[in-house]
């Protein structure tokens, strides 16, 4: 038996599933596109894929569903797929249950414009608020003053809900290396990110170092989602300040924001993005034999690609690949390119006592395995 990480081809969006050796399942973000239901389209039918996977395990639920933030490319289709407890309108046969919902405090607090009242983020916000008010089935990350005020407005106190709230710089309770072979170290959001942010999306999103342990071998997966370089710089700076440099290590790095140059530095660059000093330190924390995985549309290298405004940015990819080579990493993977642009499939990693193992298919159709063995724990 092995732990597994499955990263799905959902275009410029994010969805990844962690399946633990003990059978627990954690889903990070959800993006289902209707066009994926067309067998001739390269986008994946995420609902069908996840449901079939759950049925094969004789399940109709996830132990944890984490929405890193409320942008559409991280929640699309979720309110039609999951059972939501706050309203019967989102219940019924076939809906997938969420045992524990993980959200940033921003998802509780963000206000909606009039034209957004029926949007998915508002529906998920209502679900998160309902669970927090009722005191079950949720974990909220960070407790800014705005959240304290929201609790007070609802007749609650921070103390009465402290068991449901986690702060940056802590290990998330409920999962452990000893019992589950995994722990989640929360890097973000910081309290001031939520109190100071107006839109409260990318700047206040969830960022984790997910540490697996099998036998005496530890493997680290950095799950970032969308973020810009200033947030990542804060993570590096604060981790070093508190003696947590070990929490910057990664064997698998989820490239932030679909390979946007803004996760590396302020300027895209003509040919290649130049990361800031602290971002270079973060990239250098990758271990030999590591992988980078980019949840994005295919990344071309033609003239038009260098002029692209929206991610993915070829300049950013070139920078990531350069640093991956410097740390003797293995591959930079793009979800919408593997195993081919015409027919992308979920990218699957096994995590074993021998480290991170990329599962795939060779051109001949034979199964291929590439193993990266990180150092022993301790």
Asked if residue 209 lies in contact with residue 225, where contact means CB atoms within 8 angstroms, the answer is no
Q: Are 69 and 265 in contact (CB under 8 A)?
A: no
pLDDT for residue 372: 57
pLDDT of residue 79: 97
Tokens coding 105: 């405090």
pLDDT value at position 114? Answer: 61
* Per-residue model confidence (pLDDT) at position 282: 98
Burial (0-12, 13-18, 19+ Cβ within 10 Å), 176: middle
- Neighbouring C-alpha atoms within 13 Å toward the C-beta of 188: 29
- Where in the chain are the domains? 3-372
Distances in whole angstroms, Cα of residue 206 to Cα of each of 3, 166, 209, 226, 373 = 22, 11, 10, 9, 27
Q: Model confidence over 257-277: pLDDT tens digits?
A: 999 999 999 999 999 999 999
Q: What is the pLDDT of residue 364?
A: 33
Please give the CATH superfamily to which domain 3-372 belongs: Ribonuclease Z/Hydroxyacylglutathione hydrolase-like (3.60.15.10)
Instruction: Quickly list DSSP for 43-99.
Output: S--HHHHHHHHHHHTT-SEEEEEE-S---HHHHTTHHHHB--TT-GGG-STTPBEEE
**pLDDT score for 373:** 55
Q: What confidence score (pLDDT) does residue 362 get?
A: 38
Give me the residues of the chain with pLDDT under 70, please. 114-118, 193-200, 361-378
| φ and ψ of 123, to 5 deg | -65, -45
pLDDT on residue 173: 98
pLDDT for position 203:
80
End-to-end CA distance of the chain: 23
Identify the pLDDT of residue 190.
84
pLDDT at position 378: 46
What is the pLDDT, as a whole number, of residue 130?
98
* Helix axis angle, 277-284 to 229-241, nearest 10°: 70
């Amino acid at each position: 038996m092995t732990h597994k990480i499955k990263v799905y081809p959902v275009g410029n969006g994010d969805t990844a599933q962690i399946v633990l050796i003990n059978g627990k399942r954690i889903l990070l973000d959800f993006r289902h596109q209707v066009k994926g239901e067309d067998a001739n389209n390269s986008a994946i039918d995420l609902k069908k894929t996840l449901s079939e996977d759950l049925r094969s395990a004789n399940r109709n639920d996830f132990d944890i569903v984490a929405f890193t933030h409320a942008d559409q490319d991280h929640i699309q289709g979720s309110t039609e797929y999951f059972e939501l407890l706050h309203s019967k309108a989102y219940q019924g046969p076939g809906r997938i249950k969420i045992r524990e919902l993980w959200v940033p405090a921003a998802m509780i607090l963000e206000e909606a414009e009039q034209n957004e009242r029926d949007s998915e983020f508002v529906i998920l916000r209502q679900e998160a608020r309902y669970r927090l008010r009722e005191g079950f089935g949720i974990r909220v990350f960070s407790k800014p003053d705005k959240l304290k005020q929201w609790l007070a407005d609802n007749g609650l106190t921070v103390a009465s809900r402290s068991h449901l709230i986690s702060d940056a710089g802590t290990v998330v309770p409920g999962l452990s290396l000893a019992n589950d072979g995994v722990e989640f170290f929360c890097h973000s959001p910081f309290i001031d990110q939520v109190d100071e942010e107006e839109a409260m999306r990318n700047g206040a999103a969830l960022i984790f170092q997910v540490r697996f342990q099998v036998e005496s071998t530890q493997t680290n997966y950095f799950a970032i989602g969308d973020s810009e370089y200033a947030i990542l710089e804060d993570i590096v700076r604060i981790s070093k300040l508190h003696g947590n440099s070990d929490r910057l290590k990664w064997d698998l790095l989820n490239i932030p924001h679909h390979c946007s140059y803004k996760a590396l530095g302020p300027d895209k660059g003509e040919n290649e993005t130049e990361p800031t000093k602290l971002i270079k330190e973060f990239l250098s924390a990758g271990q030999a034999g590591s992988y980078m995985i980019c949840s994005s549309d295919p990344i071309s290298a033609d003239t038009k690609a260098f002029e692209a405004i929206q991610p993915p940015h070829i300049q950013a990819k070139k920078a990531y690949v350069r640093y991956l080579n410097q740390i003797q990493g293995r591959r930079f993977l793009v979800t919408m390119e593997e195993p081919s642009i015409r027919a992308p499939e979920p990218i699957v990693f096994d995590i074993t006592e021998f480290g991170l193992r990329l599962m795939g298919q060779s051109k001949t159709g034979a199964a291929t395995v590439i193993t990266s063995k990180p150092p022993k724990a301790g």
